[in-house]
Structure 1
Amino acid sequence: MAAHNLAVILRSSSGDPRFLLARQRRPPEFSDEEYDSYVDSDLWDLPSAPLSPLAGPRPGEVRVRVEDAAAAPCSEKVDLGRFDVDSAVVQGLGLVGLEVSDVGEWRFFKYVEEAEFGPGLPVNTVFIEGKLIAGDCNLPESCKWMSIRSCLDWLVDVKPSSDRVGLLAVLGLINDSMPPSKFKVPSTLIYQEYPSGVVVVPMGSRTAKPFRTTNLVVFAPSSSSDECGEGNFIMSGDALIVDPGCQSQHHEELGKIVAALPRKLIVFLTHHHHDHIEGEFSLIASYSTESYFISKGALRLKFSQSKQYPICIENHWSCHFLFPATWVANWKGKNSELI
């Protein structure tokens, strides 16, 4: 069971590959002076709105007809006839100052299932596509035309206070434009890839209620390079995996994830958790014989099978990564020890 969201991909009437993004509202303040002092840069994403089930017979005439929905590959997973598509489209278009009459035919584009991060229901997204009828209209400043290339530039060339690309644009459009990655998540797992090359997989875990999962994070670029640049590096790898922990019944899935990654693997532990240390080290070592572990000094843990140790950094540490080239851990600790 899941909640649903409708994302609108609006194309330019000129026929070029641009699409319209809307500036998102800033998150509410938390009444914490230090937290609220940090101001996010502008986030731009596809216009979207909640997609609510119809409570009864559809009221009045249908204003939005979505073509090819019945023939779409995911039609068995979502029946748009059960939802109030009209209201969701009107709400989404309102975010960019448009009305239903400004857009021509609508086409079913994509259906994306969200992983069960919890504690609430996952929110699956229906993407539909339409083209503006007359010119590009006088659009408000809260929206802008973007291309795949310009979005990728924002994602790669990140600078302080620079504009950001939202989740829906990446899941709906950007990821599909990227070169295919050699790393494949097992088909039994639903995951999220945002930004491209950064995969988050919720794994069943003994964690604090009401949560039931902890997030396994995988950095798996589509290509690697021996060019690490300048720096005092203690190690480099072709992929990075963060907090690889789960309950024993999910060890097979974890093993498949590790087996799909390059052998030159860096494993980064951010904190102590029983599911991160009970059996996972030996499991990873059995699939990745060239893996290296990084953790703080309190997490000095021994491989039960490989007889290797993680790298322990007692005080300060930081990691720097080169994307999409080789991932690199840059050691800047003082009074640190390398075991």
Structure 2
Amino acid sequence: MTAHRLAVIIKNSLNDDEFLLVRQNRPPKFGDGEYDSYIDSDLWDLPWASLTPLDGEDSQSEIVLEGAESCSDKLNLMKFNVDVALDQIFSQLGFRGPTGGHWAVWKYVEEADLGPLPHLNTVFIIGKLKFEAENAQELSKWMSVPSCLQFLLEVKPNNDRMGPLVVAGLLCNLARSRMLKVPPALRYQEYPPGVTIVPMGSRTGKPFWTTNLVVVAPDIISSRCVDSSFAAYGEALIIDPGCHSKFHDELMEIVTALPRKLVVFVTHHHHDHVDGLSIIQKCNPDATLLAHENTMRRIGKGDWSLGYTSISGGEEICIGGERLKAIFAPVP
């Protein structure tokens, strides 16, 4: 089952290089004192709303979207309630009543299946409004592609953060890692740039059926990590290669495209986190494996027969000049 949402790229009528972002609601409290004490910086993303089918076979949307035929082989937008979705989005921006404007389909993105919730695809449309939002200074702001890209690439404490719809809708061709090659059959999400999540079929527990392979592969390899205190150095990092054997060819393709200076980190010993280790060992026997010693006791020689670097939490590793820290998080 696939769900859909509508994301809107609203261009600034006074500056064609800018588009409108909306400040996202903060997540609800978790009920844990330590967890709830952490406060994220503001997250800004394109305004969006759920896209629901119209009632009745003869019903059609009243909104005419230029270029709707560009995705007609995958989705008939005339059969979805675009009107209601746009009203919900305009309400977020402080609009009341008709807004006018001309809208065109920008792209249709089939997103990675991160499960177990229904698979979610996004229709991006683009256009301009005739009026400015009443609460623009509080809930929304105009941003350009270069400014969004700078926030993504130069992460600093307490800085504003850019959401995944900005990346998928506007920045994917600019920010996508050129080092990582993902087989066309696999859908994936790169967010932030240089960090890619690839859901792959695995021997995981229901209702899940995939485990997320995480690949950190910065395009620019810097020399910022110059001291000798790091547990491991590498130009790319793979976390939890636990795909099912029928996806080993795809995993091999991913590993082969990565630099030889590869670090592999497994968070724990379950099948859906280690089933692909043997493929990495075969493709790149020079790779450095990081794992807790208790994890390694449970990993069979058929999965990994070479040496490894033991970590227990607190160690730092250097990937492409970026400093990462391992955190020990035992399950109660």
TM-score, structure 2 as length reference: 0.87
In 1, the alpha carbon distance for the partners of 2:135 and 2:35 equals 37
Contact 2:21–2:143 (Cα < 8 Å) also in 1: yes
AA of the residue aligned to 1:182: M
303, 307, 310: which one pairs with 2:308? 310
AA of the residue aligned to 1:308: L
Mapping for residues 1-339 of structure 1, pairs under 5 Å: 1-56=1-56, 62=62, 64-70=63-69, 72=70, 74-98=71-95, 101-133=98-130, 139-178=136-175, 181-230=178-227, 232-278=229-275, 280-300=276-296, 304=302, 307-313=305-311, 315-321=312-318, 325-327=320-322
Contact 1:167–1:194 (Cα < 8 Å) also in 2: yes
Kindly state the Cα deviation for residue 50 of structure 1 after the two structures are TM-superposed. 0.3
In 1, the alpha carbon distance for the partners of 2:324 and 2:27 equals 32
In 2, the alpha carbon distance for the partners of 1:332 and 1:205 equals 25
Deviation digits for residues 94-151 of structure 1 (CA, Å, limit 9, x no counterpart) = 2112367545211100111122221121111100001233578773411011112222
SS in structure 2 of the partner of residue 141 of structure 1? helix
In 2, the alpha carbon distance for the partners of 1:31 and 1:289 equals 45
Contact 1:96–1:140 (Cα < 8 Å) also in 2: no
Gaps of 5+ in 1: 334-339
AA of the residue aligned to 1:2: T
SS in structure 2 of the partner of residue 144 of structure 1? strand
AA of the residue aligned to 1:89: L
Residues 228, 47 of structure 1: alpha-carbon distance in 2 compared, 3 angstrom cutoff: same
Gaps of 5+ in 2: none
1:336 is aligned to none
In 1, the alpha carbon distance for the partners of 2:137 and 2:76 equals 33
Kindly state the Cα deviation for residue 26 of structure 1 after the two structures are TM-superposed. 1.5
Contact 1:13–1:136 (Cα < 8 Å) also in 2: no
RMSD of aligned residue pairs (Cα, Å) = 2.8
Residues 331, 189 of structure 1: alpha-carbon distance in 2 compared, 3 angstrom cutoff: closer
Identity of aligned residues (%): 46
Kindly state the Cα deviation for residue 299 of structure 1 after the two structures are TM-superposed. 2.4
Aligned length: 326
Contact 1:293–1:309 (Cα < 8 Å) also in 2: yes
Kindly state the Cα deviation for residue 293 of structure 1 after the two structures are TM-superposed. 0.8
In 1, the alpha carbon distance for the partners of 2:130 and 2:145 equals 22
Deviation digits for residues 34-78 of structure 1 (CA, Å, limit 9, x no counterpart) = 33332322211100000001112677982x3210111x2x43112
Contact 2:217–2:236 (Cα < 8 Å) also in 1: yes
Residues 113, 179 of structure 1: alpha-carbon distance in 2 compared, 3 angstrom cutoff: closer
Contact 1:234–1:330 (Cα < 8 Å) also in 2: no
In 2, the alpha carbon distance for the partners of 1:229 and 1:8 equals 44
Contact 2:230–2:318 (Cα < 8 Å) also in 1: no
Contact 2:111–2:121 (Cα < 8 Å) also in 1: yes
Contact 1:268–1:293 (Cα < 8 Å) also in 2: yes
Residues 29, 187 of structure 1: alpha-carbon distance in 2 compared, 3 angstrom cutoff: same
